Amino acid sequence: MHERADRLAGNFVTVDENLAREFEARLVESSTLAFRVAFSVLRQREDAEDIAQEAFAKAYRSFRQLRDRDRFRAWLVRMTWRMALDRQRSNRRRLIREQTLELDRAQTTNDAVVAQERAEQLWRAIDALPEKLRLVIVLAGIQEHDIREVAVLLDVPDGTVKSRLFLARKQLKERLSWMVTDTSTK
Protein backbone atom coordinates (compact mmCIF):
# COMPACT_ATOMS: atom_id res chain seq x y z
CA MET A 1 0.00 0.00 0.00
CA HIS A 2 2.76 2.45 1.02
CA GLU A 3 4.79 1.41 -1.99
CA ARG A 4 1.88 2.30 -4.27
CA ALA A 5 1.37 5.63 -2.57
CA ASP A 6 5.04 6.42 -2.98
CA ARG A 7 4.91 5.52 -6.64
CA LEU A 8 1.83 7.71 -7.08
CA ALA A 9 3.50 10.64 -5.34
CA GLY A 10 6.54 10.10 -7.55
CA ASN A 11 4.32 10.43 -10.61
CA PHE A 12 2.94 13.73 -9.36
CA VAL A 13 6.41 15.15 -8.96
CA THR A 14 7.30 14.07 -12.49
CA VAL A 15 4.19 15.69 -13.88
CA ASP A 16 4.91 18.93 -12.02
CA GLU A 17 8.47 18.91 -13.26
CA ASN A 18 7.33 18.45 -16.84
CA LEU A 19 4.88 21.26 -16.46
CA ALA A 20 7.54 23.54 -15.01
CA ARG A 21 9.94 22.69 -17.84
CA GLU A 22 7.31 23.40 -20.48
CA PHE A 23 6.38 26.68 -18.84
CA GLU A 24 10.02 27.72 -18.72
CA ALA A 25 10.34 27.05 -22.45
CA ARG A 26 7.26 29.18 -23.18
CA LEU A 27 8.56 31.94 -20.95
CA VAL A 28 11.90 32.10 -22.74
CA GLU A 29 10.42 32.16 -26.24
CA SER A 30 7.42 34.43 -25.55
CA SER A 31 8.55 37.01 -22.99
CA THR A 32 9.62 39.49 -25.69
CA LEU A 33 6.33 39.00 -27.52
CA ALA A 34 4.30 39.74 -24.40
CA PHE A 35 6.48 42.73 -23.53
CA ARG A 36 6.21 44.25 -27.00
CA VAL A 37 2.46 43.76 -27.21
CA ALA A 38 2.13 45.56 -23.89
CA PHE A 39 4.60 48.22 -25.00
CA SER A 40 2.64 48.89 -28.20
CA VAL A 41 -0.29 49.95 -26.02
CA LEU A 42 1.43 51.59 -23.08
CA ARG A 43 4.69 52.86 -24.59
CA GLN A 44 6.26 52.77 -21.21
CA ARG A 45 8.87 50.17 -20.42
CA GLU A 46 8.10 49.63 -16.73
CA ASP A 47 4.38 49.37 -17.29
CA ALA A 48 4.84 47.00 -20.20
CA GLU A 49 7.08 44.75 -18.10
CA ASP A 50 4.57 44.75 -15.26
CA ILE A 51 1.82 43.71 -17.63
CA ALA A 52 3.94 40.99 -19.25
CA GLN A 53 4.76 39.65 -15.80
CA GLU A 54 1.12 39.57 -14.73
CA ALA A 55 0.09 37.95 -18.00
CA PHE A 56 2.63 35.16 -17.44
CA ALA A 57 1.42 34.68 -13.88
CA LYS A 58 -2.13 34.28 -15.18
CA ALA A 59 -0.94 31.93 -17.89
CA TYR A 60 0.77 29.81 -15.25
CA ARG A 61 -2.48 29.44 -13.34
CA SER A 62 -4.17 28.03 -16.43
CA PHE A 63 -1.13 26.34 -17.87
CA ARG A 64 -2.64 22.86 -17.89
CA GLN A 65 -5.06 24.10 -20.59
CA LEU A 66 -2.36 26.02 -22.43
CA ARG A 67 0.35 23.45 -22.92
CA ASP A 68 0.11 23.63 -26.69
CA ARG A 69 2.62 26.21 -27.96
CA ASP A 70 0.34 28.01 -30.44
CA ARG A 71 -2.53 28.07 -28.02
CA PHE A 72 -0.32 29.45 -25.29
CA ARG A 73 1.06 32.27 -27.46
CA ALA A 74 -2.37 33.19 -28.81
CA TRP A 75 -3.78 33.28 -25.28
CA LEU A 76 -0.81 35.29 -24.03
CA VAL A 77 -1.19 37.90 -26.78
CA ARG A 78 -4.91 38.35 -26.13
CA MET A 79 -4.45 38.49 -22.37
CA THR A 80 -1.52 40.92 -22.54
CA TRP A 81 -3.37 43.16 -24.99
CA ARG A 82 -6.46 43.34 -22.79
CA MET A 83 -4.50 43.90 -19.60
CA ALA A 84 -2.45 46.62 -21.27
CA LEU A 85 -5.58 48.39 -22.48
CA ASP A 86 -7.00 48.23 -18.97
CA ARG A 87 -3.79 49.64 -17.57
CA GLN A 88 -3.73 52.37 -20.18
CA ARG A 89 -7.20 53.51 -19.17
CA SER A 90 -6.32 53.81 -15.55
CA ASN A 91 -2.78 54.95 -15.98
CA ARG A 92 -1.79 58.23 -14.48
CA ARG A 93 1.83 57.75 -15.43
CA ARG A 94 0.96 58.41 -19.04
CA LEU A 95 0.48 62.08 -18.33
CA ILE A 96 3.78 62.25 -16.52
CA ARG A 97 5.51 60.49 -19.40
CA GLU A 98 4.13 62.94 -21.93
CA GLN A 99 5.33 65.82 -19.79
CA THR A 100 8.77 64.20 -19.60
CA LEU A 101 8.85 63.80 -23.38
CA GLU A 102 8.21 67.49 -23.79
CA LEU A 103 11.17 68.26 -21.55
CA ASP A 104 13.42 65.79 -23.37
CA ARG A 105 12.53 67.27 -26.72
CA ALA A 106 13.72 70.69 -25.64
CA GLN A 107 17.15 69.23 -24.83
CA THR A 108 17.72 67.08 -27.91
CA THR A 109 19.13 67.99 -31.34
CA ASN A 110 17.05 68.99 -34.30
CA ASP A 111 17.31 65.58 -36.07
CA ALA A 112 16.32 63.75 -32.96
CA VAL A 113 13.36 66.04 -32.55
CA VAL A 114 12.22 65.31 -36.11
CA ALA A 115 12.56 61.55 -35.57
CA GLN A 116 10.74 61.72 -32.30
CA GLU A 117 7.97 63.77 -33.83
CA ARG A 118 7.59 61.25 -36.63
CA ALA A 119 7.44 58.38 -34.13
CA GLU A 120 4.78 60.19 -32.16
CA GLN A 121 2.75 60.78 -35.30
CA LEU A 122 2.95 57.10 -36.15
CA TRP A 123 1.93 56.06 -32.65
CA ARG A 124 -1.00 58.45 -32.73
CA ALA A 125 -2.05 57.05 -36.09
CA ILE A 126 -1.79 53.48 -34.75
CA ASP A 127 -3.76 54.42 -31.62
CA ALA A 128 -6.53 55.86 -33.78
CA LEU A 129 -7.02 52.58 -35.67
CA PRO A 130 -9.95 50.32 -34.77
CA GLU A 131 -8.82 47.71 -32.25
CA LYS A 132 -8.84 44.76 -34.65
CA LEU A 133 -6.70 46.57 -37.22
CA ARG A 134 -4.44 47.93 -34.53
CA LEU A 135 -3.66 44.51 -33.08
CA VAL A 136 -2.94 43.06 -36.51
CA ILE A 137 -0.53 45.83 -37.51
CA VAL A 138 1.25 45.61 -34.16
CA LEU A 139 1.65 41.85 -34.28
CA ALA A 140 2.87 42.02 -37.87
CA GLY A 141 5.44 44.58 -36.76
CA ILE A 142 6.73 42.50 -33.85
CA GLN A 143 9.59 40.10 -34.55
CA GLU A 144 8.77 40.16 -38.28
CA HIS A 145 5.76 37.93 -37.88
CA ASP A 146 4.37 36.85 -41.23
CA ILE A 147 0.67 36.60 -42.07
CA ARG A 148 0.45 32.94 -41.07
CA GLU A 149 1.98 33.59 -37.65
CA VAL A 150 -0.34 36.52 -37.01
CA ALA A 151 -3.30 34.37 -38.08
CA VAL A 152 -2.28 31.67 -35.58
CA LEU A 153 -1.81 34.23 -32.82
CA LEU A 154 -5.25 35.73 -33.42
CA ASP A 155 -6.94 32.43 -34.29
CA VAL A 156 -8.39 33.85 -37.51
CA PRO A 157 -7.96 32.79 -41.16
CA ASP A 158 -5.00 34.08 -43.19
CA GLY A 159 -7.36 35.99 -45.48
CA THR A 160 -8.76 37.94 -42.54
CA VAL A 161 -5.26 38.97 -41.50
CA LYS A 162 -4.45 40.04 -45.07
CA SER A 163 -7.54 42.19 -45.41
CA ARG A 164 -7.07 43.72 -41.95
CA LEU A 165 -3.43 44.50 -42.73
CA PHE A 166 -4.43 46.11 -46.01
CA LEU A 167 -7.05 48.28 -44.30
CA ALA A 168 -4.73 49.15 -41.43
CA ARG A 169 -1.93 50.28 -43.77
CA LYS A 170 -4.36 52.30 -45.86
CA GLN A 171 -5.80 54.09 -42.83
CA LEU A 172 -2.34 54.67 -41.36
CA LYS A 173 -1.08 56.19 -44.58
CA GLU A 174 -4.09 58.46 -44.79
CA ARG A 175 -3.75 59.64 -41.22
CA LEU A 176 0.00 60.16 -41.54
CA SER A 177 -0.41 62.14 -44.72
CA TRP A 178 -2.91 64.44 -43.04
CA MET A 179 -0.59 64.87 -40.10
CA VAL A 180 2.31 65.76 -42.43
CA THR A 181 0.09 68.21 -44.28
CA ASP A 182 -1.02 69.77 -41.01
CA THR A 183 2.58 70.13 -39.80
CA SER A 184 3.84 71.61 -43.06
CA THR A 185 1.02 74.18 -43.23
CA LYS A 186 1.78 75.30 -39.70
Partner 1 sequence: MDGHRHVDQIDDASLDREIESLLAVEASPDLPARVRARVAEEPAPRVWRVSWMLATAGAVAAVIAAVIVWPSRQPAPDVAPVQEPRVAEVVRPVTPLPVAPEPPARRHTATARVTPVPAERRAVDIDLPEVIVAENEVKTFAALVASVRQSRFDVAVPAAPDADAPLVINAMPPVEPLEIEPIVKLAARQTEGERP
Q: Which residues bind partner 1 (CB under 8 A)?
A: 12, 15-16, 19-20, 23-24, 27-28, 31-32, 35-36, 39-40, 45, 48-49, 52-54, 56-57, 60-64, 118-119, 122-123, 126, 137-138, 140-142, 144, 169-170, 172-174, 176-178, 180-181
State the Cα–Cα distance between residues 114 and 102, nearest whole angstrom: 13
Q: Residue 89 Cβ, how far from partner 1 at the closest point, in Å? A: 21
Complex with partner 1: residue 126 or 152, whichever CB lies closer: 126
Q: Residue 36 Cβ, how far from partner 1 at the closest point, in Å? A: 5
Complex with partner 1: residue 28 or 106, whichever CB lies closer: 28
First and final CA of the chain: distance in angstroms? 85
Q: Residue 158 Cβ, how far from partner 1 at the closest point, in Å? A: 17
Complex with partner 1: residue 64 or 186, whichever CB lies closer: 64
Complex with partner 1: residue 45 or 105, whichever CB lies closer: 45
Q: Residue 152 Cβ, how far from partner 1 at the closest point, in Å? A: 19
Distance of CA 137 to the CA centre of its chain: 11
Complex with partner 1: residue 45 or 82, whichever CB lies closer: 45
Say which residues have a Cβ less than 8 Å from residue 151's Cβ, sequence separation at least 6: 157, 158, 160, 161
